[in-house]
């Protein structure tokens, strides 16, 4: 149908006879107006027939045209779909259910894709036992676009086709006589287990050994002994009243993690009750930081603590520790079945004691009938492989999803022996240390390009489906195995075959749509046969069994929230993510107590806001020396102990900027997390990038907290008092309109967004930080810039230590100090206590209704939205940074540089592949502008538009931000406070609610819930 509509750019165009329009139609490009010709000469000007009006028209038109040309961006070619896929609507996100199972992290997830590109990971809310969608899982989408990935298979360093690769593999496998080891990660996959069994049946000389890079072997042994399954007990802390952890960082990566949400449920005071959490540990962990009573003890003392709690005596323990052990024991006895003990001690008998105790009290928190299947590795078997390769009894090795040349403890000897094996095959995504010397290297796809299945917890099955076509010429390990076993099926068909019995007639499509399927059907899992006497030989227990060296310290090797076992070392989001405890990024380091640091002459000092410098040490363990390890003095570290994170010090297939830290696997002897070491100070000073150098609150009202007793017995005005100001010599609340300098607006109509953060539920895990990165295209700036305090995180998790034993004592000390002595008292209070209380506080733009940033912006680039958001118009911003200076919360980030397509910042935004992760709904900011949290305005607008399109009202609690959606513990609740039924509205009216720095009068739209401790 023809249209009569007429389009025009200026009113002049409506006049068909206009000479200007005609003239311009002839010129594709606007010609320069010869102003000099008639303006420069008075006579010409006088003779000119150009009227003043025409003159202004010309000038106005050409100026506008020139501005348009100046604004034109570089030309980008785009290729339209030849045949547009039905399921892709440009501008609309598609979500697919899938599963991550990389051997360390296991979770049922949702993958958000835009125009065929996966851009974000979300939690699959259909799965109750969805594993742990932690910061690494959120960041794993970026690893898909890692420019260092292998792009094709190779044989002896030459790229080959898959046909050639598979025929070489088959020839070599058939030609190798003697023991060949298939060394794999834990897959927790029914189909892969079945397939490996078929493979090892066909190739009788192939032995399957599962190797968990970070071992849980002793816990598996203990569980296997008791319950006959090689699995891990599952824990649900939601009903627990007393939780006693001995070294187990269950809010971190202990036994695969994923305990946050049930723990958080028990921590929110409900009907006057909440759990009490004791933590006996050496390193300051996330769990210790969240506990009510944290007791720093060395690993050998932890053994004694466990003995005392499970029937033994406290003799031999320091008096202060013995007292708290007795208290914990009494609490456990009182709690009966509502009490639970857990431990990470690398010792089979310790693990057995814990299982026996929990079973004897019928602990409601422990579940053994449906255990977790996420670890299977057996230390004895892995040691036999390591020794077999070195001794020559193993002739060939096929590795899948593991990198033993990097992560085996005595890797020099192993590496040499490995390179001389008859058969070396590495199935890997990257040319890691093992692939570098393997003769056959199979490029495998990322999990977002793969098919797979899982059984993370017994009875809960998950499916993994590709969400993008493979980016490179890769092939799944399972597809190669099918070919080797002479099976012509694809792995996809093979999975469907396995699932016939799992589904028992239910719909495959529905299971694929949901990503999970719950069934009690028994399926095969990877079982590890124990070698003769294997179980008892499997651990030498490091520090626990051997006598300490003189001047020795007990080392606890741990994994960091950001880096885990090190698989994603080349992921800049994770490298830049500050450690929740130390707040340092881009590094691992030895954590020592202040007392040991003084004895050894080790130091830390601040050199800039963001720059922390520290001494170096050599870590000696027998003949093994780990050189030049930086030292970080850690409040709460047990005296006589040190900590060091695994997963760093990778160089193979890792970009130079991300080759950070030292390889602590060197010290992972017998795969035991506890070792005896000595430290020797060496010269030099390490430069840390640390985003928080002010470690204590010094009695200020930043994090409000109270005890459960006071919470239950006193009015909230006593423990959550509103700050008062004086007006006409009368004390009035700071929120009183009388105290307000601003005009208030009626915000009761339409949506008014608020975000509530419960300080009792927030564990400091940092998932929200990475989710915010992914959603909002937050750039990575690198270590040097972080040291200059120029990190770009829109959301940070502040961590505070008390300077006295508790935060309450800090406040008391400050309030009771009078006169000038307050100066020295406050400077003393800048130092954290030896065993401080810890609190976490996520801080992002507080979206103040009376925003101090808005009043100082000279160009009105930041202003207030109708729905409560404080908005940034990047194009208006001229970069004066007045707003950042005037923000009391310090949440505004200035783009000192252009972080995309800039070789100075060679991270994901500097290559085409890495930029595929960018969210097209959010602009990539440029140099010279201020940016900050937008309360994910693109997400709230999407929710509003979806509801409008579907002609319905918005469902309660439908609004989400990236951080609130990512928070497993439910600490963050986002919504519309004008919807009185919404969760956030109820929280807004609750008596634990307060605003950060309320006394400043900014009236934020972010609120916090007072922390309550049950100590």
Site string for ligand SF4, 737-766 (x = CB under 6 A): -------------------------xxxxx
CB-wise, 259 or 477, nearer to ligand SF4? 259
Yes or no: say if 970 and 761 are a contact pair by the CB < 8 Å rule. Answer: yes
Sole window of 60-68, 395-403, 525-533, 961-969 interacting with ligand SF4 (rule: CB under 6 A): 961-969
Nearer to ligand SF4, 208 or 560 (CB): 560
List helix spans (H) across 297-420.
299-309, 319-335, 348-360, 379-391, 404-407, 411-419
Of 324 and 1007, the one with the shorter C-beta distance to ligand SF4 is: 1007
User: Which one, 275 or 900, has the nearer CB to ligand SF4?
Assistant: 275
Which one of 97, 511, 930, 972 is in contact with ligand SF4 (CB under 6 A)?
972
Sequence-ordered list of residues with C-beta below 8 angstroms from that of 817, at least 6 positions apart, any chain = 825
* Rounded Cα gap, residues 444 and 431, in angstroms: 11
Per-residue tokens: 134 = 């932690």
> Would you say 274 or 400 has its CB closer to ligand SF4?
274
Using CB under 6 A as the binding rule, whether residue 797 contacts ligand SF4 is answered as yes
Q: For ligand SF4, what does the binding mask look like between residues 809 and 848, x meaning CB under 6 A?
A: ---------------------------------x------
Which H/E stretch holds residue 158? Answer: strand 158-159
CB of 764 to ligand SF4, least distance (A): 5
**Residue (286 or 555) nearer to ligand SF4, CB:** 286
Binding-site string for ligand SF4 from residue 537 to residue 566, where x marks contact by CB under 6 A and - marks none: ------------------------------
- Nearer residue to ligand SF4 within complex by CB, 251 or 600: 251
566 vs 585: CA distance, rounded Å: 14
CB of 267 to ligand SF4, least distance (A): 11
Task: Tell me the closest approach of the beta carbon of residue 692 to ligand SF4, in angstroms.
Answer: 14
Contacts of 43 (CB under 8 A, 6+ apart): none
Residue span binding ligand SF4 (CB under 6 A) among the ranges 59-67, 854-862, 887-895, 966-974: 966-974
289 versus 385: smaller Cβ distance to ligand SF4: 289
Indicate whether 966 belongs to the interface with ligand SF4 (CB under 6 A).
Answer: yes
Q: Given the complex with ligand SF4, which of 484 and 966 has the nearer CB atom?
A: 966
Q: Does 332 bind ligand SF4 (CB under 6 A)?
A: no
SS3 697: coil
Q: How far is the CB of 942 from ligand SF4 (least distance, A)?
A: 21
Residues between 475 and 504 with contacts to ligand SF4, criterion CB under 6 A: none
- Which residue, 256 or 764, has its beta carbon nearer to ligand SF4? 764
Closer residue to ligand SF4, CB minimum distance, 786 or 965: 965
Among 188, 284, 632, 768, binds ligand SF4 (CB under 6 A): 768
Spell out the residues 6+ positions from residue 963 whose beta carbon is closer than 8 angstroms to its own.
768, 769, 771, 772, 795, 842, 844, 936, 972
CB of 574 to ligand SF4, least distance (A): 15
Residue among 969, 985, 1002, 1005 that touches ligand SF4 (CB under 6 A)? 969
For strands 870-872 and 862-864, give the pairing.
antiparallel
Instruction: Give me the least distance between CB of 573 and ligand SF4, in Å please.
Output: 15
Residue among 985, 937, 931 at smallest CA distance from 961: 937
* Helix (H) or strand (E) run with residue 487 in it: none
Shortest Cβ distance from residue 581 to ligand SF4 (Å)?
Answer: 12
CB of 793 to ligand SF4, least distance (A): 12
Per-residue binder mask for ligand SF4 (CB under 6 A), 919-958, x = binder: ----------------------------------------
By C-beta, is 301 or 763 nearer to ligand SF4?
763
Residues 514, 516, 521: CA angle, nearest 5 degrees: 140
544 close to 299: Cβ distance less than 8 angstroms:
yes
Q: List helix spans (H) across 616-743.
A: 708-713, 716-719
- Helix, strand, coil shares, percent, the chain, to 5: 35, 20, 45
> Beta-strand (E) ranges in 561-673?
584-585, 590-592, 604-608, 611-621, 624-633, 641-645
Nearest residue (CB) to ligand SF4, 400 versus 973: 973
Rounded Cα distance, 155 and 152, in Å: 10
Closest separation in Å from C-beta 264 to ligand SF4: 7
Q: Which is nearer to ligand SF4, 153 or 766 (CB)?
A: 766
Interface positions, 159-218, toward ligand SF4 (CB under 6 A):
none
The phi and psi torsions of 400 (rounded to 5 degrees) equal -135, 115
Which of 516, 967, 993, 1007 binds ligand SF4 (CB under 6 A)? It is 967
> Are 266 and 406 contacting, i.e. CB atoms less than 8 angstroms apart?
no
CB of 140 to ligand SF4, least distance (A): 16
At 30, is the secondary structure helix, strand, or coil?
coil
- Nearer to ligand SF4 by Cβ, of 514 and 983: the residue is 983
Interaction mask 508-537, ligand SF4, x per CB under 6 A: ------------------------------
Binding region for ligand SF4 (CB under 6 A) out of 214-222, 661-669, 805-813, 964-972: 964-972
Residue of 767, 908, 919, 1014 that binds ligand SF4 (CB under 6 A):
767
Q: Which is nearer to ligand SF4, 698 or 761 (CB)?
A: 761
Q: How far is CA 69 from CA 11, 72, 450, in A?
A: 21, 5, 46
- Count the site residues for ligand SF4 by CB under 6 A: 14
User: Could you tell me the two tokens for 630?
Assistant: 């930086």
Environment class of residue 183 by beta-carbon count within 10 Å: exposed (0-12), middle (13-18) or buried (19+)? buried
356-385 residues in contact with ligand SF4 (CB under 6 A) are: none
Contact 984, 754 (CB under 8 A): yes
Is residue 971 near ligand SF4 by the rule CB under 6 A? yes
Q: Which two tokens stand for residue 94?
A: 């598609």
Q: In the numeric block, which tokens belong to residue 547?
A: 């006598």
In whole angstroms, the minimum distance from the beta carbon of 121 to ligand SF4 comes to 13
Question: Quick one: which of 40, 39, 101, 127 has its CA closest to 968?
Answer: 127
Q: Is 252 in the site for ligand SF4 (CB under 6 A)?
A: no
Cβ closest to ligand SF4, residue 250 vs residue 461: 250
Q: Tell me which residues in 975-994 interact with ligand SF4 (CB under 6 A).
A: none
The nearest distance, CB 74 to ligand SF4, in angstroms, is 38
Residues with Cβ within 8 Å of residue 644, at least 6 apart in sequence: 555, 556, 557, 558, 588, 589, 590, 591, 619, 629, 662, 664, 667
Q: Residue written as tokens 């609190």?
A: 839
Exposure letters 736-771 (e unless 16+ CB within 10 A, then b): eeeeeeeeeeeeeeebbbbbbbbbbbbbbbbbbbbb
Q: At its nearest, how many Å lie between ligand SF4 and the CB of residue 1009?
A: 12
> CB of 653: closest distance to ligand SF4 in angstroms?
30
Cα separation, 278 vs 257, whole angstroms? 18
DSSP structural state of residue 49: -
Are 1001 and 739 in contact by the 8 Å Cβ rule? The answer is: yes
Q: Which stretch binds ligand SF4 (CB under 6 A): 103-111, 433-441, 532-540, 969-977?
A: 969-977
User: Among residues 260 and 596, whose Cβ is nearest to ligand SF4?
Assistant: 260
Residues that bind ligand SF4 (CB under 6 A): 762-768, 797, 842, 966-967, 969, 971-972
């Amino acid at each position: 149908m023809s249209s009569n509509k007429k389009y025009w750019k200026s009113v002049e165009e409506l006049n068909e006879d206009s000479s200007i329009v005609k003239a311009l139609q002839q010129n594709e490009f606007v010609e320069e107006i010869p102003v000099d010709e008639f303006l420069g000469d008075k006579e010409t000007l006088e003779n000119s027939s150009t009227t003043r009006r025409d003159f202004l028209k010309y000038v106005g038109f050409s100026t506008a045209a020139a501005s348009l040309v100046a604004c034109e961006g570089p030309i980008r070619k785009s290729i339209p779909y030849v045949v547009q896929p039905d399921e892709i609507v440009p501008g609309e996100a598609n979500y697919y259910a899938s599963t991550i199972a990389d051997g360390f992290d296991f979770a049922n997830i949702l993958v958000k894709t835009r125009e065929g590109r996966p851009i974000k990971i979300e939690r699959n809310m259909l799965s109750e036992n969805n594993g742990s969608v932690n910061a690494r899982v959120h960041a794993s989408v970026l690893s898909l676009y890692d420019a260092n990935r292998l792009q094709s298979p190779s044989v002896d360093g030459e790229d080959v086709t898959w046909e050639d690769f598979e025929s070489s593999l088959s020839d070599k496998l058939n030609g190798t006589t003697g023991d060949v080891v298939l060394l794999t990660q834990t897959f927790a996959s029914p189909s892969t287990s079945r397939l490996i069994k078929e493979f090892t049946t066909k190739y009788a000389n192939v032995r399957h050994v599962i190797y968990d890079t970070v071992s849980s072997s002793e816990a598996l042994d203990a569980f296997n002994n008791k319950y006959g399954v090689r699995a891990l007990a599952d824990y649900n802390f939601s009903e627990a009243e007393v939780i006693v952890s001995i070294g187990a960082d269950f809010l971190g990566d202990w036994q695969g993690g994923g305990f946050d949400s049930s723990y958080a449920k028990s921590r929110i005071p409900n009907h006057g009750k909440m759990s009490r959490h004791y933590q006996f540990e050496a390193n300051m962990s996330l769990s210790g930081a969240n506990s009510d009573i944290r007791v720093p003890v060395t690993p050998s003392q932890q053994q004694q603590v466990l003995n005392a709690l499970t029937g033994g005596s406290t003799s031999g323990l320091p008096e202060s520790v013995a007292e708290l052990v007795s208290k914990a024991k009494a609490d456990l006895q009182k709690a009966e079945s509502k009490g639970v003990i857990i431990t990470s001690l690398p010792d089979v008998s310790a693990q057995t004691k814990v299982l026996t105790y929990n079973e004897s009290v019928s602990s409601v928190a422990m579940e053994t009938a449906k255990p977790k299947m996420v670890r299977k590795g057996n230390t004895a078997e892995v040691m036999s492989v390591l020794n077999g390769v070195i001794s020559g009894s193993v002739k060939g090795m096929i590795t899948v999803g593991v990198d033993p040349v990097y992560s085996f403890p005595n890797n020099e000897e192993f590496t040499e022996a490995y390179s001389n094996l008859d058969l070396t095959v590495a199935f890997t995504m990257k040319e890691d240390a093992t692939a570098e010397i393997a003769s056959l290297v199979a490029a495998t796809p990322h999990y977002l390009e793969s098919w797979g299945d899982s059984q993370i917890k017994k009875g809960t099955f998950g499916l993994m489906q590709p969400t993008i076509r493979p980016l490179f010429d890769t092939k799944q390990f399972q597809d190669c195995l099918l070919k080797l076993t002479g099976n012509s099926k694809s792995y996809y068909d093979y999975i469907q075959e396995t699932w016939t019995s799992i589904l028992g007639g239910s719909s495959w499509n529905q299971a694929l749509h949901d990503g999970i399927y719950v069934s009690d059907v028994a399926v095969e899992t990877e079982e590890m046969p124990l070698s003769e006497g294997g179980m008892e030989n499997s651990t030498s227990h490091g520090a626990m069994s051997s006598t300490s060296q003189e001047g020795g310290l007990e080392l606890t090797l741990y994994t960091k929230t950001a880096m885990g076992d090190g698989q994603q070392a080349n992921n800049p989001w994770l490298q830049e993510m500050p450690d929740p405890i130390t707040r340092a990024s881009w590094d691992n380091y030895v954590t020592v107590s202040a007392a040991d640091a003084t004895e050894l002459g080790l130091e830390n000092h601040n050199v800039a806001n963001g720059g922390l410098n520290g001494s170096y040490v050599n870590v000696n363990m027998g003949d093994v020396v780990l050189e030049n390890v930086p030292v970080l003095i850690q409040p709460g570290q047990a005296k006589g102990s040190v900590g060091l994170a695994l997963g760093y010090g990778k160089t193979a297939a890792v970009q130079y900027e991300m080759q950070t830290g030292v390889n602590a696997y060197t010290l992972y002897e017998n795969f035991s997390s506890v070792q005896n070491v000595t430290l020797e100070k060496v010269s030099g000073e390490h430069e840390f990038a640390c985003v928080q150098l002010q470690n204590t609150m010094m009695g200020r009202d930043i994090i409000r907290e109270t005890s459960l007793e006071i919470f239950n017995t006193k009015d909230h005005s006593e423990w959550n008092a509103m700050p008062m100001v004086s007006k006409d010599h009368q004390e009035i609340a700071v929120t009183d309109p009388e105290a307000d300098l601003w005009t208030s607006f009626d915000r009761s109509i339409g949506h008014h967004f608020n975000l509530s953060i419960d300080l009792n539920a927030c564990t400091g895990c940092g998932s929200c930080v990475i989710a915010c990165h992914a959603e909002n295209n937050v750039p990575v700036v690198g270590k040097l810039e972080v040291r200059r305090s120029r990190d770009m995180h829109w959301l940070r998790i502040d961590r505070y230590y008390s300077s006295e034993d508790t935060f309450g004592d800090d406040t008391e000390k400050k309030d009771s100090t009078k006169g000038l002595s307050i100066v020295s008292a406050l400077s003393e209070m800048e130092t954290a206590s030896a065993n401080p209380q810890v609190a976490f506080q996520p801080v992002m733009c507080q979206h103040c209704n009376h925003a101090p940033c808005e009043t100082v912006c000279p160009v009105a680039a930041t202003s207030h939205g109708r729905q409560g958001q404080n908005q940034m118009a990047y194009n208006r911003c001229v970069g004066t940074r007045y707003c950042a200076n005037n923000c009391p919360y310090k949440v505004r980030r200035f783009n000192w540089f252009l972080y995309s397509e800039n070789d100075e910042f060679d991270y994901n935004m500097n290559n085409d592949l890495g930029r595929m992760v960018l969210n097209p709904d959010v602009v990539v900011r440029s140099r010279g502008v201020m940016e900050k949290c937008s309360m994910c305005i693109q997400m709230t607008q999407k929710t509003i538009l979806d509801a409008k399109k579907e002609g319905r009202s918005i469902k309660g609690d439908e609004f989400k931000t990236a951080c609130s959606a990512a928070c497993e513990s439910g600490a963050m609740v986002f919504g519309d406070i004008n919807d009185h039924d919404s969760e956030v509205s109820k929280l807004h009216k609750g008596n634990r609610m307060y605003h950060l720095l309320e006394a400043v009068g900014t009236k934020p739209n972010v609120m916090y819930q007072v922390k309550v401790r049950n100590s």
